[in-house]
Amino acid sequence: MRPPVLVQEAASIIQPLADENNVELRLHLEHVGEAYWDKRSIQRVLVNLGTDAVDACRFDPDRGKNFVVAMSLGLKGRAEGEERIVIEVSDNGCGMDEEIKEKIFSRFFSTKGGQGTGLGLLLSKKIVEEHGGPISFDSMLGVRGPNSE
Tell me the per-residue pLDDT of 22-70, one tens digit each, with 9 for 90 and over.
Answer: 999 999 999 999 999 999 999 999 999 999 999 999 989 988 889 999 9
Q: What residue type is assigned to position 93 of the chain?
A: G
Cα–Cα distance, 23 to 26 (Å, whole number): 10
Q: What does each C-alpha distance from 75 to 13, 32, 109, 121 come to in angstroms?
A: 24, 6, 32, 23
Record the pTM. Answer: 0.86
Fold held by 3-93: Heat Shock Protein 90 (3.30.565)
Max CA separation in the chain (angstroms): 45
